[in-house]
Structure 1
Amino acid sequence: MSDWLLGLIALVLGVALVVAGIHRYRTGRAFLASAQRVPGMVTGIHRVETTDSYEFFPVLRFRTLEGAEVETVGQTRGGSYELTRLKGTAVPVLYDPRNPRTARMDTSSGRGLAGSLGMAAIGAVFAVLGIVMLLLMAA
């Protein structure tokens, strides 16, 4: 593979990761700005099959501030071992008051902000690497 192509791939991948990370960060901040925090419980694990593996999400049960009982699949991805240990455990839950079925555990990973910024940072490294490679090839 030519160095030009490798540099271009690194640049495009980097920019895509930066854009995706910023989008996830902004979406997460918007959710947190309107979310309600209530006590809840992890009642199970929801397994989703992907192309080559599985993703695991907690099943959360909580009562909204209006008193409605909700059980839903949380948006926070986790490892099967971690979520199995949490099954039956009380956890703080953040939910969207306009759609209480949109909920996540109120943890650092549940908030998703650190992961989003990490994704953007890794993307920035790839983008800079791609730019440097392309500039070196042009020289």
Structure 2
Amino acid sequence: MPNERLITRVGGLFALIGLVLLCVTIALAASTASFLASAQRTDGTVVELTARTSTTRDSDGRHRRSTTWYPTVTFTVEGRQYSFESSTGSNPPAYAEGEAVPVAYDPADPRDARISSFWSAFLGPLITGGLGVVFTPLGLLLFVRGRRIARQRA
């Protein structure tokens, strides 16, 4: 396979992946914004930090362990207590046990709740959007470059 065809195909694949990531970003951001627009707000308390440890292998073959801390939050609505574990974790922990945090919850189903902070709400869209912003133009650049090389050789 000539070099220009490989460049064109890799570029097309990168551009496609980037566009998919941008679409995922829009869907995630819209879903989060919709939830936050209709959510009620209250204060909650971090009652526990759950550690999740993952092991990866670096380029030298050594195992690396990393721990991510996920807060469990309780809050009260109309005298009833609810609890949830945040889907966003960090290392070091972003919160301490006993710390008060803002909570957004669905008034029709208070079990559907999340920490109401920018990072907790929009970390997913920021990551997928950032990757999409990198992959799309890089892919388009490679695609166009491959096509130009092919035209020049023809």
TM-score range, shorter chain: 0.7 to 0.9
In the alignment, the residues of structure 1 paired with residue 116 and residue 24 of structure 2 have an alpha-carbon distance, to the nearest angstrom, of 22
The AA in structure 2 aligned to 1:15 is L
Partner of 1:58: 71
Q: Which residue of 1 aligns with 2:139?
A: 130
Give 1:71's match in structure 2, choosing from 80, 83, 90. 83
> Contact conserved, 2:46 with 2:96, CA < 8 A, in 1?
yes
Match of 2:109 among 83, 96, 99: 99
Which sections of structure 2, spanning at least 5 residues, go unmatched?
Answer: 57-65, 149-154
Bigger mean CA deviation after superposition, 101-110 or 41-50: 41-50
**Cα separation, 2, equivalents of 1:16 and 1:122:** 10
Please identify the structure whose Cα radius of gyration is greater. 2
Q: Check conservation: 1:44, 1:87, Cα contact below 8 A.
A: yes
**1:47 shift after superposition:** 4.4
CA shift for structure 1 position 138: 1.1
Pairing 1:8–2:8 present = no
SS in 2 for 1:94: strand
Residues 40 and 27 of structure 1, relative CA distance in 2, 3 Å threshold = same
What's the CA shift string for 1:68-119, capped at 9, x where partnerless? 11122123x1214224x4221111111112221221112111221x652553
Distance 2:115 2:50 in 1: 14
Change beyond 3 A, Cα 1:5–1:49: farther
CA distance in 1, matches of 2:83, 2:90: 20
Please point out which of 26, 49, 56 is paired with 1:45: 49
Do the aligned partners of 1:42 and 1:88 also contact (CA within 8 Å) in 2? Answer: yes
Structure 1, residues 18-46: CA drift from partner, whole Å, max 9, x if none?
A: 01111110110111011111011011123
Query: Could you state the TM-score of these two structures normalised by the residue count of structure 2?
Result: 0.74
Tell me how far 1:123 sits from its aligned partner. 0.6
User: Among 34, 50, 60, which residue is 1:30 paired with?
Assistant: 34
Residue identity matched to 2:50: H
TM-score, structure 1 length as denominator? 0.81
CA gap of 1:54–1:100, structure 2 versus 1, over 3 A, is farther
Q: Which runs of 5+ in 1 are unaligned?
A: none
